[in-house]
């Protein structure tokens, strides 16, 4: 067992606990409201028909701490798997202790496997921008700062890059986030590396962790509220092999 892992993973819990003590969260009915509020976004106009065949497809996105982003997509119908990991840097630095330095080029990312006949890539991006993170925060999300927490779409091919660019342009033109610019970058065909096992299914395994309570559980609630037709109550977990 990596003896360094618990202390590193516990840093977020400490930050969240301090925020709670300082009044950084607002409580309603025993639930903390995250600093990154959900936004109702229009569906992408660029939403191609699913390709023929039965093969799953892959999307890779980064939007701050991967615990919450993974948790959100594990509750989305049509998603067969969501894995926390690192993308944007080299294989030899794809380790939590290295990525945390902010000097590796990696971002904490999530690889999403999905059935395009049930949910399209464009709809995945709609959920990503609506509830999974705040795309107007540059190199940070909530209490987490650094390039490893940047908002990025790791397009797996030119078609994904085209859809992502078109959607960002639509949201920008509509001034969906008011005067705040969308800072999400698009990085094409960067390798994804799976994160350490203790990061997988973290939200489900640690629902009382102060960080999870403050920043991530509200995202699941907003997913259910805003995308009721896309929400699945039972998450698809890495640990179950689903």
Active site residues: 65
Q: Taking the CA of residue 50 as centre, how many other CA atoms within 13 Å lie in the half-sphere pointing to its CB?
A: 15
Strands 79-87 and 192-194, by their bridges, are antiparallel
CA dist., res. 4 & res. 6, Å (int): 6
Q: First and final CA of the chain: distance in angstroms?
A: 24
CA dist., res. 216 & res. 61, Å (int): 16
Q: Which of these, 152, 157, 118, 155, lies nearest to 132 by C-alpha position?
A: 152
What angle separates helix 66-74 from helix 217-226, to the nearest 10 degrees?
30
CA dist., res. 40 & res. 129, Å (int): 9
């Amino acid at each position: 067992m990596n003896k360094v892992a618990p202390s590193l993973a516990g840093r977020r819990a400490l930050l969240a606990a301090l925020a709670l003590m300082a009044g950084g969260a607002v409580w309603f009915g025993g639930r903390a409201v995250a600093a990154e509020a959900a936004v109702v976004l229009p569906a992408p106009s660029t939403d191609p028909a699913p390709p023929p065949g039965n093969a799953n497809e892959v999307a890779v996105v980064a939007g701050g701490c991967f615990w919450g982003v993974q948790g959100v997509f594990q509750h989305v119908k049509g998603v067969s798997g969501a894995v926390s990991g690192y993308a944007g840097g080299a294989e030899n630095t794809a380790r939590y202790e290295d990525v945390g330095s902010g000097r590796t080029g990696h971002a904490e990312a999530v690889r999403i496997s999905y059935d395009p006949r049930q949910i399209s890539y464009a709809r995945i991006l709609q959920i990503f921008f609506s509830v999974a993170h705040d795309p107007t925060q540059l190199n940070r999300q909530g209490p987490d700062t650094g390039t490893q927490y940047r908002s990025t779409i790791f397009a797996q091919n030119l078609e994904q890059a085209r859809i992502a660019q078109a959607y960002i342009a639509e949201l920008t033109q509509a001034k969906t986030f008011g005067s705040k610019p969308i800072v999400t970058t698009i990085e094409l065909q960067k390798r994804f590396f799976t994160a350490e096992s203790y990061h997988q299914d973290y939200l489900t395994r640690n629902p009382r962790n102060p960080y999870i309570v403050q920043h991530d559980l509200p995202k699941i609630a907003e997913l259910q509220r805003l995308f009721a037709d896309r929400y699945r109550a039972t998450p698809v977990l890495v640990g179950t092999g689903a």
